[in-house]
Structure 1
Amino acid sequence: MNTSVASTSTEVVMRANELHAGYLPGINILNGCTIEARKGELVGIIGPNGSGKSTLLKSLFGLVDIRDGSVTLNGEDVTGMKTNQLVRKGVGFVPQTNNVFQALSIEENLQMGMFLKPKEFASRSQEIWDLFPMLADRRKQLAGSLSGGERQSVAMARALMMEPSVLLLDEPSAGLSPVRQDETFIRTRQINQTGVTIIMVEQNARRCLQICDRAYVLDQGTNAHEGTGRELANDPKVIELYLGTLAADVEAKSKH
């Protein structure tokens, strides 16, 4: 069952237009990729391995050089802006790996998320504890002692400390058990329902399409398909070319 509720807003929060980007000189991973996320939307990014999904998120967050194209945030050109500037402007990012400070407690991780506004930690942290009650109960526990799913929650909580208008999630369910994956997807939707626009790269394509408002399928660094989650989940071409392969990839990873 598709549980998404499509946003009716036409206000674009973040837009990537004809992005060309890559890690090595002269070699592009993104080849004209264009996406947008409207206010209050949960936007999914799916596609085969190597299609440029994570590179897209890192480009949006200033971690990969953009060689051509542009990124706008609430109508402002932020192409090539540094990550700390983007955080100040309301962009949060949760990477797939190494996303917590393992030697610090849960509470200290959240404090790191407020490094730009340390005086506001007390008031903001209470809102986050309400959203993540299981973290509140264990706030003094070291992040390195947590399970993968719990670390993912800490990483999300830290990214939310600065009250971002848009949250970028890179493979939030990667490496988690099916139960923890479900919890992560539920948590993602709950965060979205508080008003945070979310752009989520996800390996579990079918589950992603179930919860997102709209989605893009990337292939070789460019747009292959786009539509609502329901439309793509029922599109014969998407099913034939992508969903079967992606499901097999996820299943193979879960066995390792």
Structure 2
Amino acid sequence: MSEQTATAPQGAETQGDPVVFVDDVHAGYLPGVNILNGATLTAHRGELIGIIGPNGAGKSTLLKAIFGQVKIRGGRITLGGEDITGLKADKLVAKGVGFIPQTNNVFPSLTIEENLQMGTFQKPKLFAERVDFVMGIFPDLAKGGGLKKRAGGLSGGERQMVAMGRALMMDPKVLLLDEPSAGLSPVRQDEAFLRVSEINKAGVTCIMVEQNARRCLQICDRGYVLDQGRDAYTGTGRELLKDPKVTELYLGTLGA
């Protein structure tokens, strides 16, 4: 399956340049040590892309490479055809890229509202318009004290909603999500995946790294299995779920 050219799902924009194209990227944190060893990824407009693989495979590093947080030593990354390789995070946000890290993804001393305001730091006039959109996706944030609650007192699931909401405040073209279900209860995990699907259906291209591999592949349009910093398998979520090699090598150890 990894040798086949994956096609975008029906309804995805396939004409012109992909929203995100990662081409043979080599990258790492320490001099002379690469975590990514030729990683490749294509995300078309409107797609939900899932990235799975064993611990240490480079999944989170791939997202950080796209978001300008890892030194890229080879290859290139484009956004809508524009080369963004190594561009700093603030520039990427202005160009329509949102990133939600796995940890430390809210400002705990600030209220929910202030966290959302931080999302429009570059364009504060967007706040009134975008906060209505975010509240439409995360209505639970307005309950029990509403937007004046301190983020530090929220549950893990509520913090995840705030982090997603803040990233959406700049109306991104693409949203990068690093382990959105990590540390959540099974019920909250289901809610996190539901919210990602809703964000995607609202028109945002999503690229999601997940340890809950089966659940990830169930909702994504296409998936990439990363191993040792490069693509081991790629295909639609359904294809990967049914592939016996993927099941044997990865799904048996990556969360039922």
Helix, strand or coil at the partner of 2:232: strand
Aligned partner of 1:84: which letter? D
How many residues get paired? 244
Aligned residue for 1:174?
182
CA 7–43 in structure 1, closer or farther in 2 if over 3 Å, else same: farther
Aligned residue for 1:126?
132
Aligned residue for 1:254?
none
Helix, strand or coil at the partner of 1:162: coil
Q: Deviations over 1:173-225 (max 9, x none)?
A: 00101000000000000000000000000000000000000000000000000
CA 113–8 in structure 1, closer or farther in 2 if over 3 Å, else same: closer
Aligned partner of 1:221: which letter? G
Which one of 102, 109, 116 corresponds to residue 108 of structure 2? 102
Aligned partner of 1:43: which letter? I
Which one of 8, 13, 16 corresponds to residue 12 of structure 2? 8
Distance in 1 (CA, whole Å) between partners of 2:133 and 2:255 is 36
RMSD: 1.0
Paired residues of 2:126 and 2:170 also in contact (CA < 8 A): no
Distance in 2 (CA, whole Å) between partners of 1:88 and 1:8 is 24
Which one of 133, 136, 150 corresponds to residue 142 of structure 1? 150
Distance in 2 (CA, whole Å) between partners of 1:100 and 1:240 is 37
Distance in 2 (CA, whole Å) between partners of 1:129 and 1:218 is 34
Which one of 244, 247, 255 corresponds to residue 236 of structure 1? 244
Paired residues of 2:19 and 2:45 also in contact (CA < 8 A): yes
Helix, strand or coil at the partner of 2:98: strand
Distance in 1 (CA, whole Å) between partners of 2:14 and 2:175 is 18
Paired residues of 1:6 and 1:213 also in contact (CA < 8 A): no
Distance in 1 (CA, whole Å) between partners of 2:246 and 2:133 is 39
The answer to whether 1:157 aligns with 2:165 is: yes
The answer to whether 1:210 aligns with 2:218 is: yes
Unaligned stretches of 5+ in structure 2? Answer: 1-8
Distance in 1 (CA, whole Å) between partners of 2:94 and 2:183 is 30
Paired residues of 2:50 and 2:217 also in contact (CA < 8 A): yes
Distance in 1 (CA, whole Å) between partners of 2:156 and 2:12 is 34
- Superposition map of 1:72-87 within 5 A: 72-87=78-93
- Superposition map of 1:11-90 within 5 A: 11=15, 12-90=18-96
Aligned residue for 2:202?
194
Aligned partner of 2:77: which letter? V
Aligned partner of 1:33: which letter? A
Distance in 2 (CA, whole Å) between partners of 1:72 and 1:97 is 26
Q: Deviation at 1:240?
A: 0.3
Aligned residue for 2:4?
none
Distance in 2 (CA, whole Å) between partners of 1:240 and 1:143 is 41
Q: Deviation at 1:245?
A: 1.4
Runs of 4+ in 1 over 3 A off after TM superposition: 5-8
Unaligned stretches of 5+ in structure 1? Answer: 249-256
TM-score using structure 1 length: 0.93
Aligned partner of 2:63: which letter? L
Distance in 2 (CA, whole Å) between partners of 1:46 and 1:116 is 32
Paired residues of 1:46 and 1:216 also in contact (CA < 8 A): yes
Paired residues of 1:46 and 1:218 also in contact (CA < 8 A): yes
Aligned partner of 2:209: which letter? V
Helix, strand or coil at the partner of 1:72: strand
- Percent identity at matched positions? 68
Helix, strand or coil at the partner of 2:141: helix
Aligned partner of 1:175: which letter? G
Q: Deviation at 1:6?
A: 5.0
TM-score using structure 2 length: 0.93
